[in-house]
Structure 1
């Protein structure tokens, strides 16, 4: 079975115990995603670039791709 997970580079804004807030680019709006639906790796300082791994559907719903 083919995986539906995709890795994209996004701009980190904030995180809680349950969700992460990122932007697709400097001009886009903040998008919150539950950590149950994604993984985040990279520089978790505000404005740092991180890699967000999530199903294609989640990325599309949030306008990140």
Structure 2
């Protein structure tokens, strides 16, 4: 695994601040904060509160998103 590998993960947004998103990829998992400085948000659905996050693989693993 390379530290600069970027992965795309479908997530549900629970909460957000100016600097981070509280997200979960699975109803069985606890939500985790992901700093906006580490990710790019794409395909945001305001109604369903979902989006695709592009973030480093190490952070996705650490947050339990993959």
For normalisation by structure 2, the TM-score amounts to: 0.81
Deviation at 1:6, TM superposition (A): 0.9
Number of residue pairs the alignment of both structures matches: 63
Let me know the Cα RMSD of the aligned residues.
1.8
Tell me which stretches of 4 or more aligned residues in structure 1 moved more than 4 Å: none
| Partner Cα separation in structure 1 for residue 23 and residue 41 of structure 2 | 10
| Partner Cα separation in structure 1 for residue 12 and residue 24 of structure 2 | 5
| Partner Cα separation in structure 2 for residue 44 and residue 52 of structure 1 | 14
